[in-house]
Amino acid sequence: MKTIKQLIADRYAYGRAIREIRREERTDEVYSKFPALKAMDDELIAIRSKRMIAAIDHDNVAQKICESDEHQLLARREEFIKEHRIDPGFDKEMPVCAECGDTGFVRMNKGYDRVCDCMKDLVVECFDSCGLKDYASYSNTALDMDMFGDKEHRKEVRRRLTSAIIEPDRLGMPLLLYVDKVRSGKTFLAVCMVKTAILLGKSAAYQKCDDLRSLSAQDLRFVSDCEFLVLDDYSGAVTHKADNASALNNILESRIAKRLPTVIVSSSSKEVLVEESDVRIAGKLNKADLV
């Protein structure tokens, strides 16, 4: 499992090297066409280092002369660039994506950041690594709130889970229970919420309760620490399988202590779940908030 921020940071580091190479190439090309510009830029560097030495020596007179020389040279340079129709940004690093400046994030109206469209492939990579590989077609645009009836309830669940993602500090209890009947679209909605969290730059994961045993130590750490976690297909029986109860209990304990929002999805009522679960987990479920 990987966080979208880490994936973007890796690409950014790689992109920086690429941008620097492109900048050098552009600069070399312009200089070879306009040697006079290169001479001016060399002179500019010389004046600036002279000025720095003058500043270290507290030589105000020399500093003033350097400032005036630099000023004049910059004016001449600007004139030259204009006259020869050279791109004034030829020697600057230029982002490949104008929308996000290659940071991978764009600011939305409400002040939240979302992953830029230029990082689409990394979003897919992140989805796949965080338990969503089998749910490529599940998306907020494909989410039909009407499909399973009880539209208002589903809308309310979505609203509450969205606020758990964006304002986790306002949650009374970080453990949430999403209970609905069989075939009511719970998984679809839950998957969309994990995708939403990732698109907002959060670390998030979707995990079937039955598969907890098969997670690597690294992934167990990830599900214990990520900013939003959905545990799907929960039932009391899940906690009576070898190793599953203690893995689940450790995850919940750690997440509740860190106040990280965790959503347990189940088709059984809270009362039944508390009744049927391993006693350590039942105690936690008893305190969970229903969404």
Q: Which residues bind Zn ion (CB under 5 A)?
A: 97, 99-100, 116, 118
Burial of 263 (0-12, 13-18, 19+ CB in 10 A): buried
Q: How far is the CB of 107 from Zn ion (least distance, A)?
A: 12
Cβ proximity to Zn ion, 115 vs 205, nearer residue? 115
Q: How far is the CB of 8 from Zn ion (least distance, A)?
A: 10
Q: How far is the CB of 211 from Zn ion (least distance, A)?
A: 34
Number of H helices, E strands in the chain: 10, 7
Q: How far is the CB of 106 from Zn ion (least distance, A)?
A: 7
Cβ proximity to Zn ion, 97 vs 143, nearer residue? 97
Residue for token pair 């790689």:
14
Cβ proximity to Zn ion, 7 vs 205, nearer residue? 7
Q: How far is the CB of 116 from Zn ion (least distance, A)?
A: 3
CA distance 291 to 289: 6
Cβ proximity to Zn ion, 104 vs 185, nearer residue? 104
Q: What are phi and psi of 205, to 5 degrees?
A: -150, 150
Residue for token pair 């500090």:
169
Cβ proximity to Zn ion, 8 vs 274, nearer residue? 8
User: Is the sign of the CA dihedral 161, 166, 170, 173 positive or negative?
Assistant: positive
209 and 244 in contact (C-beta within 8 Å)? yes
CA distance 74 to 79: 9
Q: How far is the CB of 14 from Zn ion (least distance, A)?
A: 14
Cβ proximity to Zn ion, 99 vs 144, nearer residue? 99
Q: What are phi and psi of 176, to 5 degrees?
A: -115, 145
DSSP H helices, the chain, are 4-33, 35-56, 60-83, 120-127, 151-166, 186-199, 217-225, 244-257, 270-276, 279-287
